[in-house]
Structure 1
Amino acid sequence: MTLVGTIYSYPQNPRVFKAQIVAKYNGLEVKVDDKFVMGTTNKTPEWICKFGASQVWLFSSCGCSRRAMSLTALLRYGSPDVPAFEGTDGTVIIESGAIAYYLAHYKEKSALVGRSKSEEAHIQQWIQFIDSSVGPPLGQWVFPLIAPERVPYNKATETQAIETVKSKLKTLEHHLVKKTYLVGERVTLADISAATSLLLAFKQIFDPQFRKEFPAMTRWFTTIVHQPHFKAVAGPPSLCETALKFTPPKKDTKDTKDKKPKEDKPKAEKKPKAKEPEPETEETFEDAPKAKSKLELLPAAKMPLDEWKRQYSNNDTPIAMKWLWENIDLTADYSIWKVDYKYNDELTKLYMSNNLAGGLMNRLERARKYAFGCLVVAGEDNANIITGYFIVRGNAEEMIEEITDAADYESYSWVKIKNVNNEEKKKVDQVFAWEGSIDGKPIKDGKVFK
């Protein structure tokens, strides 16, 4: 790997993880200075003169005397900004986001920065959303719990912070319901930046009850932190089981013997409550009727799809498949489609490929009444494929809208099998049974949509 520079910071800084993970993805080597001492190293004149340049130019853009005054001020008060980066070419950068951005763009045509102007903009959108909208209230919540000596605990502040965090994370949750990654169909700088920003929260305060409210976000987070490059830097991920709570310090016991008991005061008679006005009745509006699917206009199928799903669920696969081929009408009622993931060459771990297949299944809710399918993962770690078959209502040449509408649809090729002969049936059989091999790759796992 190419050595591009050195990062200076205190140990186990999640903001350093961000830059290190980006470097791993781009095949770059970044050293972390192990002699750095927070509060000492970053207050030396040498440090200030090197990494205080950004603050210097806030005071003056030119002029030796004014520049000297700026340096004097910095030397007096210090420059605590870490992490800081010094490149082998002399480039000096402070702030973790800027360092990660630099390393992400260091490699030409890196997938981390997006493959279009639109993707590039959306990557920055999510980075800024997490940093500016989620980060501050998250800090108000977690820091008083882990460092109360530095950030005093306040119950009202914590309550407000939790409400704000949940409110902001709903935006992330809504987006990820139909997405595997924040932008596009692969890991980008947005995923790395956001996941490292949430690392401490998932470890300390996002307990199982909290995670239940954000299943899509939790799925996305676990997918990202299990990536090999992420684990190589941040270590094995761990999710919080019991949320960190504030424990008030024990109060000193005081002698209360000399204290006089309080005199009982006569209770004041309660005034009768004024009769509250009855609430006005609100008008209720019925939901607008949902538009019917075009598939509802088709003649009734000879084989009800629900019955096939019951056969598949309640019987051994060979028995279920025999029933299917005896009852399905592929001339008008149904069609069978071959499905292949378009980016099989980018797949790594088997379980990650299976999670990816599950992501598509989760986004096909609209098609549940009109389709059944299996996707399998075949091969080994770093050499596997996602492939499968779907039974779809109707026999049109184009895929139904209920499937094309899914967020991950474009990541797969969908080819209608026009001649479902015995050879094709055997292929469908082994996919629906998760048995055998495909192109010499043994089937290891799979997902069912039913």
Structure 2
Amino acid sequence: MKTIGKLWGYSAQRQTITILAAAALSGLDIDVPHFEFGVTNRTPEFLEKFPLGKIPAFEDNTGFALVEGIAIARHVCSLAPEAVLLGRDASERALIDQWIQFSEYEISAYNMEIRALHTGRLGPHSKEMFEGLINRQVRFLRYLETYLVSRSSGFLVGDEVTLADIALAASTQQTGRVTCGATERALYPNIFAHYDKVVSIPRMKEIFGEPKFVQEVLAYQECQ
């Protein structure tokens, strides 16, 4: 496959997975240099291209540089429009954007906040705050589960995989590692069936890696 540039990020990072999966389904390839957080992204060479030191970070073969996971993934998809990962018309493109944002802000954002509270990175917090975040995510997971029941294709938009499906699968994998243990996953069979459907597409499993789902949801623990 044609190599379009370089991507700095972790292979297990949700955004990096989304970008590499989008590239693979678009028939494109991206070089992934060795990356060490706090070292690679603090070098003068890296900061000259990406002043905030954020990852994932992408540079194409012409020197065009871009950060923010979904922006990079959209750009990659746009390089192979025949793959229709961004939709076939304006309505599909809007729906794809809707579901990408849903995955980012109503699913993944809660995973990151809950994990940060659990590890103490956000400082003192209450049990009510911790469980409140989980309950808010549950509301959106229930909505998503109901929506997927109505999708005979098994995909979020249309009858083919799109960037929305890739983004959701990456968020679902993260959710299965944070807020959905075995008991919770049984409550959302269609969400996790969607994940399995996306990951079963050729080349996806090697990019997504092992699910590493937890058996028990992260529980509240007293701040030290």
TM-score by length of 2: 0.89
The residue aligned with 1:25 is 25
CA pair 33-153 structure 1, distance change in 2 beyond 3 A: farther
The CA RMSD over aligned residues, in Å, is 2.0
String of CA shifts for 1:202-241, please: whole Å, max 9, x gaps: 1343122212332222221222223222202122434432
The residue aligned with 1:49 is 48
Instruction: Work out which of the residue numbers 151, 167, 181 in structure 1 matches 2:139.
Output: 167
State the identity %: 29
In the alignment, the residues of structure 2 paired with residue 143 and residue 227 of structure 1 have an alpha-carbon distance, to the nearest angstrom, of 32
CA pair 190-82 structure 1, distance change in 2 beyond 3 A: same
How far off its partner does 1:133 sit?
A: 2.5
- Which letter does structure 2 place at the counterpart of 1:47? F
CA pair 239-49 structure 1, distance change in 2 beyond 3 A: closer
How far off its partner does 1:153 sit?
A: 6.2
The residue aligned with 1:114 is 87
The residue aligned with 1:13 is 13
* Matched positions, count: 221
Does the CA-based 8 Å contact 1:84-1:94 persist in structure 2? Answer: yes
In the alignment, the residues of structure 1 paired with residue 14 and residue 54 of structure 2 have an alpha-carbon distance, to the nearest angstrom, of 14
In the alignment, the residues of structure 1 paired with residue 11 and residue 189 of structure 2 have an alpha-carbon distance, to the nearest angstrom, of 31
How far off its partner does 1:2 sit?
A: 0.2
How far off its partner does 1:125 sit?
A: 0.7
Instruction: Work out which of the residue numbers 176, 179, 182 in structure 2 matches 1:205.
Output: 179
Does the CA-based 8 Å contact 2:142-2:188 persist in structure 1? Answer: yes
- Which letter does structure 2 place at the counterpart of 1:40? V
Does the CA-based 8 Å contact 2:56-2:67 persist in structure 1? Answer: yes
**Secondary structure of the corresponding residue to residue 38 of structure 1:** coil
Does the CA-based 8 Å contact 1:4-1:88 persist in structure 2? Answer: yes
Larger radius of gyration: 1
Does the CA-based 8 Å contact 1:142-1:201 persist in structure 2? Answer: no
Does the CA-based 8 Å contact 2:134-2:179 persist in structure 1? Answer: no
Larger helix proportion of the pair: 2
Larger strand proportion of the pair: 1
The residue aligned with 2:191 is 217
Structure 2: segments with no counterpart, 5+ residues? none
Does the CA-based 8 Å contact 2:10-2:16 persist in structure 1? Answer: no
How far off its partner does 1:109 sit?
A: 2.1
Does the CA-based 8 Å contact 1:191-1:224 persist in structure 2? Answer: yes
TM-score by length of 1: 0.46
In the alignment, the residues of structure 1 paired with residue 189 and residue 170 of structure 2 have an alpha-carbon distance, to the nearest angstrom, of 18
The residue aligned with 1:191 is 165
- Which letter does structure 2 place at the counterpart of 1:210? E
The residue aligned with 1:136 is 109
How far off its partner does 1:11 sit?
A: 4.8
Alignment of 1:141-152 (within 5 A): 141-145=114-118, 148-152=119-123
- Which letter does structure 2 place at the counterpart of 1:103? V
Structure 1: segments with no counterpart, 5+ residues? 53-78, 252-450
Does the CA-based 8 Å contact 2:182-2:215 persist in structure 1? Answer: yes
How far off its partner does 1:32 sit?
A: 0.8
In the alignment, the residues of structure 2 paired with residue 153 and residue 182 of structure 1 have an alpha-carbon distance, to the nearest angstrom, of 38
Alignment of 1:409-448 (within 5 A): none
